[in-house]
């Protein structure tokens, strides 16, 4: 398999994972923004995402892991297309049903610390209001 074939395969799997996760692959700008919100390393550009989707570039392994976490697919499948075992698919489906939105531990804290004081106050007020609605406060 050539590198060009690997890039095309990755692109196809990325689009499939995005479709399953209901992420619009038609907007590289939106994908880059959403990815960067979840990734603690250097941000990716719209052009980089466009190249991933077009099968012209492969992201680093670290970015593949972040994509896989975001899209809730195995990183090895996303990068190489390795077949999943039936148990893995069952666990993944159960996990998707149980956790509709998953983020990396510590991500919220890191992003919260980047906010200015008025925005921190706003976030805390929203969280308190949501907790009151859920009856968990």
Q: How many angstroms separate the CA atoms of 59 and 46, rounded?
A: 13
Helix, coil or strand: residue 34: helix
Domains of the chain: 3-88 (1.10.260.40)
pLDDT per position in the chain (137 positions), as tens? 799 999 999 999 999 999 999 998 899 999 999 999 999 889 999 999 999 999 999 999 999 999 999 999 999 999 999 765 445 555 555 555 555 556 677 778 888 888 899 888 998 989 888 888 877 65
pTM above 0.75, yes or no: no
Q: How many angstroms separate the CA atoms of 50 and 90, rounded?
A: 32
DSSP letter assigned to residue 106 = T
Mean pLDDT, the chain, rounded, equals: 85
In Å, how far from its chain's centre is CA 42? 15
Residue 132's alpha-carbon distances to 101, 126, 127, in angstroms, are 20, 10, 9
């Amino acid at each position: 398999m050539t590198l060009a074939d690997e890039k095309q395969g990755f692109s196809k799997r990325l689009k499939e994972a995005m479709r399953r996760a209901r992420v619009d692959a038609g907007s590289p700008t939106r994908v880059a923004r959403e990815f960067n919100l979840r990734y603690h390393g250097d941000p990716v550009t719209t052009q980089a995402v466009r190249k991933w989707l077009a099968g012209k570039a492969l992201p680093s392994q670290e970015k593949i892991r972040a994509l896989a976490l975001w899209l809730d697919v195995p990183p090895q499948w996303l990068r190489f297309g390795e077949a999943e075992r039936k148990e893995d698919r069952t666990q993944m489906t159960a996990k998707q049903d149980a956790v509709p939105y998953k983020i990396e531990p510590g991500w919220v804290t890191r992003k919260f610390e980047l906010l200015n004081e008025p925005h921190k106050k706003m976030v805390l007020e929203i969280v308190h209001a949501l907790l009151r609605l859920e009856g968990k406060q």
